[in-house]
Amino acid sequence: VGAPLATALMGHFASAEGVGVWQSFVVMAVIYFIFMIGGALGYRVPPTGWKPEGWTAPAAKAKNSMITNRHVHVSVAWKTPQFRLVWLVLCLNVSAGIGILGMASPLLQEVFAGKLLGNGLTFSELNADQLKAIAAIAAGFTGLLSLFNIGGRFFWASCSDYIGRKATYFVFFALGFLLYASVPTLGHMGSIALFVAAFCVVLSMYGGGFATVPVYLADLFGTQMVGAIHGRLLTAWAAAGVLGPVLVNYLREYQLSHGVARADAYNITLYILAGLLVLGFICNLLIRPVADKYFMTDAELAAEQAIGRDKGASAATSLEWKASDGSKPLVIAAWLAVGIPLAWGVWITLQKTAVLFH
């Protein structure tokens, strides 16, 4: 949603005095503020024993040593080896994915160049009109990646419910390594379809990693403070946001400055990103269940629950909740407020993506 909205706003505010960047940022800041505050005010922490009307707990499954029913305090969780390993797992997975996002457009243009238009010209041989044409195709490519980024969050998070969080990350790292390592070969083969498909799968796992990691934390540390623990873990995302793009851009510029052809300048970068995924695989392999000494006692857990929940409720109390009839219009309005902008963003992205297949 953000990218097409920013483009539309800059087009609206553009004038002889400027391209409308600051005005667009102000408008987007107001929009983001309204949506974020509205979402935050909609959250409620349910009391102990709360459940929707008519809901019954699922049947107990076989014991999984990687899923705990106890809880670790946030001040303790970040000191555990499991937290540090999950931090590295997320950082390495995101570094590889976010690096690809930043170089997706120039990568497609410089590797395939004239092949995108049906001729064999290199990037430096293309004229202005041809460069503009392949730029439009590359924009469709990045749009397609964004859709797989979104879809991967639903797909991989759902898969993790069946195969487990640790196994899901094993898939991310193993499959990701194979795809990253194969992309240079696919580029030399001139297979645009396989090249695009490989990156689509990679970006789906980038999004899937974000969607799966909160539940991974809940499995390891319990659900009582998973939100706060996840907040600290997101420092891995911040670190990856620097590591991935810097690694990709510096390596590319270094190779170009040493005479490497544009079409080949990404090969070493992709192999290094594949190496990051190998490190992530090892970190994920080392993750074990949290030791008993880190979990809160029953008394400590009760004290924490009393801070933010209904002090009159207990785990033995069943509090059934039913939505009032008056809340339905508000629920519909909330879904429309989210669904309409999302549908608009997806539609704009699909329009750009369609260029890729012409």
What are 179-225's pLDDT values in tens digits? Answer: 999 998 988 888 888 999 999 999 999 999 999 999 999 999 998 88
CA distance 332 to 79: 43
> Which has the higher per-residue pLDDT, 312 or 232?
232
Confidence of residue 41 (pLDDT cuts 50, 70, 90): confident
Which of 134, 239, 246, 236 is closest to 192 using CA atoms?
134
Confidence check: pLDDT of 93 > 90: yes
Burial code (b: 16+ CB inside 10 Å, e: under 16) for 193-212 equals: eebbebbbbbbbbbbbbbbb
Q: What is the pLDDT of residue 138?
A: 85
Number of alpha carbons in the 13 Å side-chain half-sphere of residue 158: 6
Residues 6+ apart with CB under 8 A from 130: 114, 117, 121
Please give the model's pTM, rounded to 2 decimal places: 0.83
What are 283-322's pLDDT values in tens digits? Answer: 999 999 999 999 998 888 888 877 765 555 555 555 666 7
Q: List the domains of the chain with CATH numbers.
A: 71-291 (1.20.1250.20)
125 and 179 Cβ atoms separated by less than 8 Å? no
Which of 217, 273, 222 is closest to 247 using CA atoms?
273
Residue owning tokens 């395939």: 112
314 and 92 Cβ atoms separated by less than 8 Å? no
CA distance 120 to 123: 10
CA distance 213 to 82: 13
DSSP label of 320: E
